[in-house]
Amino acid sequence: MPSISEILTTVSDILFSWVLVVLLIAAGAYLTVRTRAVQLRHAAGILSAVRGSRSGAQGGISSFQAFAVGLASRVGTGNIVGVALALILGGPGAVLWMWLVAVVGTATAFSESTLAQVFKVRRPDGSFRGGPAYYIARGLRLPALGAVFAVVFMVANGLAMPMVQANAITASLGAAGHVSPTMGALLVVALTAPVLLGGLRTMASVAEYLAPVMALAYMALVLVILLTHPAQAGEAMTSILAGALGLRPGLAGLAGGLFAAMLNGVRRGLFSNEAGLGGAACAAGSATVSHPVQQGFIQAFGVVVDTLLICTATALAILVAGPGVYAPGTTPAEAAGTLTQDAIAHLVGQWSRWPMAVLVVVLAYTTIIGAFSYAQVCLDYLTDRPWASRALQLSAVACAAVGSLQALTTVWTLADILLGLGAILNLVAILVLSRWVVGALRDWEAQTRRAARGVGESGSAEGARAQVRTEGPVFHADSPHLPAELSTEAWPRSHRP
């Protein structure tokens, strides 16, 4: 009889090797068509979404804070270890497929975040909550199914995820400076307890600064490497294109061939940017914005940052290091855990090992913060009792301490399965509710066009355009572009006769 661990591993492998890969790609392709390629038509809007997003929170969570929370969860150890494993198994060509799937995933990220805003609810303290549990309950009118999603996601992100990331923190510290697991556990608890116990606003405030700063620091380091190794950087880009198209058989990874490059690149892209998995939508629904599309754009920008920038930076650093660190088809899979650190140490010196260890620690730490914020949103869907929130916070800190001391492989695998099941529920809901995404997008586009053609307060069309740039379109629950009128206190009505 197979053990429970073996059964869970088999289920997880099936779920993440094929089921979710097919569903995520199919959903991304459908939503790209349904929104008429919103990620391409509004690429400028997505890239500029961060501008002005830090204002307007009005006592809640600002648009930028919601973006930073999503970024904190997206940009984690998977960007360091996961990309290295994709290169080992699929070769340099995996990177191109990672880029392509990110472009498709941007439409999914936009759609789920827009839905989170459309169906969000206002809390007594003036803040908002939204996400898959809410649009499953309010959009599909299936509150029981929304509760199922909330429980699954709360357990996976609030209890299991702190264990996984805390273990990564202590492992990194131990490898870099022989820090004992006990000391690592004390450090993890000291870092996580004040933030997790402080609630969603505290988590958003920490993520607002920590996640973007670490992402920028990492990209700056890799940029310096590329500028100081121009020839190797050019060869790295060539190897990505040649490997993806099967032009150089010697660039295949351990799994060998063009199919391996495609599969590993697709999987890395999908599970790194988290588009469609439901987590970023939990953060998106908490933001205070004037229009759902505004948050849809900014969360879509998170996919760009995660995959097209952070994951690409990791891949280029490894490829620039060359045969001294990484060789397609020969570097063992076991090397993935330290391959990025080895590559950077090879290029800039051994002194970089401690800074890289600190980077891994901070990435894992911000992932704990981001993931737990998703769990908090799900708990708020289930109950608003303060004791329940405090119990979840204390349990998360305890789980982080336990995970720091020992690797609980079965728990990790169970968390993967729970996240996968939650993702399936989320993807089905997004596809069924896609008409609401299209309606919100049409409303935003119609207001933008009218403002561009109209006359603003300054008496000119330019004044109208300036007003749109500074204030943006305003969403109404009774917009004629929506499939039906929303019954909600989160959005105003236009009071049309």
Instruction: Give per-residue pLDDT as tens, 88-135.
Output: 888 888 888 888 888 888 999 999 999 999 999 988 877 788 999 999
Residue carrying structure tokens 């909550």: 129
Report the pLDDT value the prediction gives residue 137, as an integer from 0 to 100: 94
**pLDDT tens digits, one per residue of 276-326:** 888 889 888 888 888 999 999 988 888 888 888 888 888 999 999 888 888
Q: Which pLDDT does position 218 carry in this prediction? A: 85
Q: Please report which helix (H) or strand (E) contains residue 141, including its range.
A: none
Query: Range with the lowest mean pLDDT among 73-77, 252-256, 361-365?
Result: 252-256
Q: What is residue 57's predicted lDDT score, i.e. its pLDDT?
A: 53
Task: Find the Cα–Cα–Cα–Cα dihedral 22, 28, 29, 34, rounded to 10°.
Answer: 140
Q: How far apart are CA 386 and CA 382, in angstroms?
A: 12
Contact between 360 and 187 (Cβ < 8 Å): no
Quick: pLDDT tens for 20-39: 888 888 999 999 999 999 99
Task: Please give the pLDDT value at position 409.
Answer: 64
Maximum Cα–Cα distance for the chain, whole Å?
79
* pLDDT higher than 60, residue 192: yes
pLDDT tens by residue, 36-85: 999 999 988 888 877 766 565 565 677 777 777 777 777 766 677 778 88
> Is the predicted pLDDT of residue 465 greater than 60, yes or no?
no
How far apart, in whole angstroms, are the C-alpha atoms of residue 308 and residue 83?
Answer: 12
Q: Select from 180, 140, 87 the least CA-distant residue to 404.
A: 180
Say whether 171 sits in a helix, a strand or coil: helix
Looking up tokens 């930028």 gives 64
Whole-number pLDDT of residue 146? 94
Give the mean model confidence (pLDDT) for residues 401-422.
76
Residue 257 has pLDDT above 90, yes or no: no
Average pLDDT estimate for 364-384:
86
Contact indicator for 113, 128 with CB cutoff of 8 Å: no
* pLDDT value, residue 62: 77
Phi, psi of 287 (to 5 degrees): -80, 150
Place of tokens 């076991």: 334
pLDDT digits (tens, 9 = 90+) for 419-437: 888 889 999 999 999 999 9
User: For the chain, what percent of residues have pLDDT higher than 70?
Assistant: 86
Q: Tokens 């940029």 belong to which residue?
A: 223
CATH class of residue range 4-449: mainly alpha
3-class state of residue 129 by DSSP? strand
Binned at pLDDT 50, 70 and 90, residue 456 comes out as very low
Mean pLDDT value across residues 455-469: 48
Q: Of 420, 366, 2, 3, which is closest to residue 217 (Cα–Cα)?
A: 366
- Does the pLDDT value for residue 458 go beyond 50? no
On whether the CB atoms of residues 475 and 292 are closer than 8 A, the answer is: yes
More confident residue, 406 or 219: 219
- Tokens 């307007």 found at: 56
Task: Categorize the per-residue pLDDT at 247 as very low, low, confident or very high, splitting at 50, 70 and 90.
Answer: low
Return the higher-pLDDT residue of 415 and 383.
383
Question: Are 349 and 328 in contact, with CB atoms under 8 Å apart?
Answer: no
Can you tell me the distance from the alpha carbon of 497 to that of 480, in angstroms, rounded to the nearest whole number? 13
Tell whether the model's pLDDT for residue 15 goes beyond 60: yes
Q: What is the pLDDT of residue 51?
A: 73
Length of the chain: 497
Whole-number pLDDT of residue 459: 46
Q: Is the pLDDT confidence value at 403 over 50?
A: yes
- Could you tell me the residue ranges of all domains in the chain? 4-449
Contact 59, 127 (CB under 8 A): yes
Least Cα distance to 431 among 108, 6, 203 occurs for 108
pTM: predicted TM-score of the whole model, two decimal places: 0.86
What is the mean predicted confidence (pLDDT) over 194-201? 75
Q: Determine the 3-state secondary structure of 117 from DSSP.
A: helix
Output b/e per residue, 472-496; b: 16+ Cβ within 10 A: bbebbbebebbeeebeeebbeeeee
- Which DSSP string do the residues of 261-319 spell out, in sequence order? HHHHHHHHHHHHH-TTTSHHHHHHTTB--S-HHHHHHHHHHHHIIIIIIIIHHHHHHHH
Q: Round to whole Å and give the CA distance between 340 and 142.
A: 45
Please report the pLDDT score of residue 140 as a whole number. Answer: 94
Going from the C-alpha of 141 to that of each of 115, 380, 440, the distances in angstroms are: 14, 18, 19
Residues of the chain with pLDDT > 90, as a percent, come to: 20
Using the predicted structure, report yes or no on whether residue 16 has a pLDDT greater than 90.
no
Closest CA to 25 of 114, 100, 120, 130: 100
Statement: residue 245 has pLDDT above 70: yes
Q: Is the pLDDT of residue 449 over 60?
A: yes
Q: How far is Cα 494 from Cα 497, in angstroms, rounded to an integer?
A: 9
Q: Residue 486's pLDDT band (boundaries 50, 70, 90)?
A: confident
Q: Determine the Cα–Cα distance for residues 260 and 379; give it in Å rounded to an integer.
A: 40
